[in-house]
Chain A
Amino acid sequence: MAAVPILQLQAATRRLAGRTIVDGVTFSLDRGSVLGLLGVNGAGKSTTLRVIAGLLAPSAGKVLFDGCDLHDEPALARRLGYLPETPPLYAELRVDEYLTFCARLHGMRTADAHKAVDRVIERCGLGEVRRRLCGNLSKGFAQRVGIAQAIVHDPDLIVLDEPASGLDPVQAASIRKLVSELGRDRAVILSTHLLHDVTACCARVAILHRGRLRHDGALAELTDTQGGDLESMFFRIASADDAQAAA
């Protein structure tokens, strides 16, 4: 029996306020792979991820999580971890309290939740801030708590919206390492406008421009066959349309 891909988008389209933000995006993702969703600002990355996380319903097309529609099977959402653009922290809670709540919210029992929180605190390097209030964290730590929140309940699919934003180069490198590790046995999809994020931790890259998927393929393939590297390809896609629009 062929395994069902953990995530399938079938011509997923999303309109907001009369504008088509995500336009017929189709791809699928298996466990054990990291997909980088690359695009300039306003390309529709965040909206695509919100549709995948179940925050927005697709206006047309389908989004299937493990073969099911999240809307029909809300309990499936427990197997999904999502980091929005701004980390969803409760300023008045301590980091460990907050992460325990996140784990419990996704259906973990109290004892399991405490173990999971200890694990994730170690994994994300949050030991020194575990008893600090979320509201008093620096941007880098807040972002890391946000990532911890998305993985604490051990989800099968991890959706990260610009995980490395606001981090210094050292922190960004450690996050990229963490993402590659997570991608070994889970499916990870992350959005970014930084080419380096993609080359550092993604095996596969999808380029989104004006809501359309313009490229989807393995990173290695791209550098080998087409002669150009990712950078020139990204610029070609991003600027070609602008020239078209100007004409």
Chain B
Amino acid sequence: MSRVIARNEWRRLFAQPLAWALLAAVLAVLAYFFLLTLQGFLGLMPKLAGMPSAPGVTDLVALPLARAIASVLLIVAPLLGMRAIAGERQSGTLALLQTSGTGGAGIVFGKFIALCGFFVVLIALALTMPASLAIGTQLDWGRIATGALGLILFAAALSAIAIAASSFTRHTVVAAIVALAINLVLWMLDAGARHEGVSSGFINYLALPTHLEPFLRGIVATVDVVYFALIVAVALTLAARRLDSERERG
């Protein structure tokens, strides 16, 4: 039934202006950023030409863009996921899903898949910008692919967090704020530690950038995949349990 819910969620997402507006705004901002970095790169080109093993266009344009996509996702995921469950609770449609025998896990998973699908589209569209440079230069496709994979896992983790936040309230704005707060905490958790020169402590392990960065550098490590999978599993389990407990708590 998750499939039915996911498809319905997807259809509803694109029947409303929010998803389109977010997509347009995010792509506009990213395009501007992309053009700026590209211009910077073109300015640097004469210097780079003289350096042995100089960083290429993938390092200097595609990578910064991927980091920009990640920062944008921190804000967009809460906005798009806030209504997932809180909105249904508010409009009374949650009862429809809950009386269909689907169960909390099925409902939550369906919503999660739909939200992830949206972010896959967003990431794919954003990455067409650096990909378009292939017309004029050589790109490191392997690193772009691992970068895309990292961003998708990152977006999946943020989607799960947004859905979990959404499952605990009936106010969509509260859900968005809570999800944003969690994202920012996980994003900046080890900023202080890094400032003090600690870069391989436990606190670094907990932070999101520690696990996104290797993907952007072209490294797919099990530990990073497991980290994102753990966030998804914990957040979705919490959300599903919260939905199931509503029978008891009322």
Contact = CB atoms under 8 A, between A and B. Distances in A.
Interface of A: 14, 16-17, 53-57, 70-71, 74-78, 80, 82, 84-93, 97, 101-102, 104-107, 149
A90 B247 contact: no
B103 interface: yes
A82 B248 contact: no
Contacts of B101: 54, 70, 74-78, 106-107
Contact of A77 (B11, B93, B100): B100
B135 interface: no
Given A87-B92, A93-B12, 14 more contacts: A56-B247, A56-B250, A77-B100, A78-B101, A85-B92, A86-B92, A88-B93, A89-B93, A92-B12, A93-B15, A97-B11, A105-B4, A105-B5, A105-B96
B107 to A, nearest CB: 10
B247 A93 contact: no
B4 A55 contact: no
Nearest to A79: B101
Contacts of A93: 8, 11-12, 15
Interface in B6-41: 8, 11-12, 15-16
Name the interface size band of chain B: 20 to 34
B247 A101 contact: no
A57 B247 contact: yes
A91 B91 contact: yes
Interface of B: 1, 4-5, 8, 11-12, 15-16, 91-103, 246-248, 250
Contacts of B99: 53-55, 77, 80, 82
Nearest to A103: B4
B93 to A, nearest CB: 4
A70 B101 CA distance: 9
Nearest to B93: A88
A88 B92 contact: yes
A194 to B, nearest CB: 22
8 contacts: A74-B101, A84-B95, A88-B95, A90-B93, A91-B91, A102-B96, A105-B97, A149-B96
A94 B231 CA distance: 36
B56 to A, nearest CB: 45
B100 A106 contact: yes
Nearest to A85: B92
Contacts of A106: 100-101
A78 B91 CA distance: 22
A11 B100 CA distance: 25
Contacts of B5: 105
B16 A105 contact: no
A151 to B, nearest CB: 13
